[in-house]
Structure 1
Amino acid sequence: MASVTEEQVREALSAVNDPEIKRPITELGMVDAVTINPSTGSGSAESVTVRLLLTVAGCPLKDTLNRDITAAVKGIAPEADVVVDMGVMTDEQRKSMRDQLRGSHSDREIPFAKPGSLTKVYAIASGKGGVGKSSVTVNLALAMAQRGLKVGVIDADIYGHSIPDMLGVGDRRPTQVEDMIMPVPVPNATGTDIQVMSVGMLKPRKDQVVAWRGPMLDRALVQMLSDVFWGDLDALLLDLPPGTGDMAISLGQHLPNAEVLVVTTPQQAAASVAERAGTMASMMHQRVVGIVENMSYLVTPTGDRMEIFGSGGAATVAKTLSHRFGYDVPVLGQVPLDEKLRVGGDTGEPIVVSDPDTEAAKVLQGVADQLSGRSRGLAGMQLGLSPAGR
């Protein structure tokens, strides 16, 4: 007689989440069957076979699913032989799962643009390239996740996409279920939740050059916002291209509720163009939440600060934009030059994870604290309500 029942096994499997969709595999209809063969005596153990239906044949995380399912069954039947028999969903089953997740709406919607969305959307912008905008983005994303937030990252820098490599998932490709794309999860030791999507992940070849103009750029942004199943995020970070071009305009049109974080360096040449990035956000009716000054100073071996790129850039931008907009635009942090910050981006291990006790990591963690501490509520949002007639 079997020591466990099918009901008990399915209950245990309800605690196993799909690594990409972040929902229980039982809820998604991925558990096709559970077969229990009792021990036949003579020292043989009972066996539990779980028939699992993958969304696609080449699911990149099937080993993770195998491991998690085996552990879940072993938790209630330690002596059992566990077999995970993997199959693939039919087109009809995939469509059913897609409809369950997204609803059966034919029109693609951007969930973050809805009046009731509770996701805080931050666009990381700069007036010019080379100021470390992408480095700031990945470190803020990881620092927020370390604080328990569910974080999504969109690499909206179409021409200079670098976010996947900086997060260590440059060779990963997203899974597609019907017309729904799963963002790529970023593994990290804290077990927190980060998901990323980049146009670089959608190209046939990693070295392929993207040569798009306005309409195609807009379409790419909409696809990453609406075709990707992000689930319930606390924060969504978008790494924008430098400058005030098509992508900044598209973002303002599709995500008017996004708040903009401007990254600059200390020198006045960078500060003047950073002001333009902030002004563009205001023109699109977006709020500038603050300024981050990167490469602010270098700490010498003697402990002195060397201001290689001058000083005062972020303060100038903050003062100018505060006066121009009529509300306070603070300097959220001044990140020092640190070789480990560059190395972390090259190796896919950003500094807030690889060297959290460095001064640069602490400043970035402080910026994340300020952004994470802001309320995730409906205050100030348009709720789409109108007065009822008498």
Structure 2
Amino acid sequence: MDLARSLSRLIQAESYSGREESAVRVLVELLEGLGLRPEVDEAGNVEAVLGSEGPEIVLTGHSDVVPAGDPGAWPHPPFAGVVEGGKVWGRGAVDMKGPLVAMLGALERLKGRRLAGRVRFLATVQEELGGLGSRYASSRLRLEPPKAVVLGEPSAGRVMRGHRGRGEIWADFPGDQAHAAMATGTNPIYSLADFLAGLEQHPESFDVRLTPTRLETYPQATNVVPGVARVVLDLRYEPGADIHDLLDGLRDSAGEASLYVPEEELVSGPVRMSISALLPAYSLDSDHPLLAVALRALGQESAGFWSFTTDAPYLAWSGAPVIGYGPGDPALAHTTFEHVAVDALETATAAYADLVQALLEA
């Protein structure tokens, strides 16, 4: 298959989280072009299976993308899928329609090989919002757990074994709403400021990083003492960090404030999920035998860690180890210069095929 042309088509299928239908249609057409029989589940995930018996390897990634922002800030229109200078440009080129197309190329290669099992292609929805698609798919996959899951988030061609967790912590400080000219009660902004000052003095631990990212007041008026002042903290944490202990400590220092992790209801078709803003970390043991197989197959000595969260924790609910590998520079994800080299797609296509074969034969 023409990897650059296929990726261009997929980029042109604008697919913000919750509106992935156009990308789903393109993926279905590409899979049918490979002679496979794709299916779309209730959540909107696209699946297709190569082979019929034996252990299963899942090749997976997500079809949704983050907003493109100002089109004028891009060197090429973000959804034009321009191919220029040996690169494919546009939103999703790296994160992560490029890896999906490379996986399709791998399926085409694997059709000509004798496999010791089968391969499932899985393109999930709403990864950027908290992983509704992968959470839903894992509930089925665990009925007959695959041998391994290969997640194609961009890694510049390096094998990955996990990532940090990410969360949002909200703290609402109560006050006495009043006219600013006649205020005599509690102004919650002062309480919030004291909390942040204490947080700034608190040394960061090795495994946890907290960063204030948003301040809000309710009501939002410049001549009113607010009834509530809110701060949002971005949380990044390493696998094994004690988040419950962290939350207890923050609640103690926040005093009368209500400190909590928010939840959001996500919807895709008939599927509804209430998803916490605390996204888990994932870590595959460095001595896991299938990780060793993957490293040998791709000629690498050690696996890395993504700095961002992925669908790996939810895919692992299937009972299978999750191994990461993807083409593209992760630093270009979510930027206005997002692009992937065509030769990186070709390298990843061969790598995915070799990786699947090695894992099935292990």
* TM-score bracket for this pair, using the shorter chain length: under 0.3
TM-score normalised to structure 2 length: 0.26
TM-score normalised to structure 1 length: 0.25
Q: Which structure has the larger Rg over C-alpha atoms?
A: 1
Higher relative contact order structure (alpha carbons within 8 Å, sequence separation ≥ 6) = 2
Write 1 or 2 for the structure with the bigger share of strand: 2
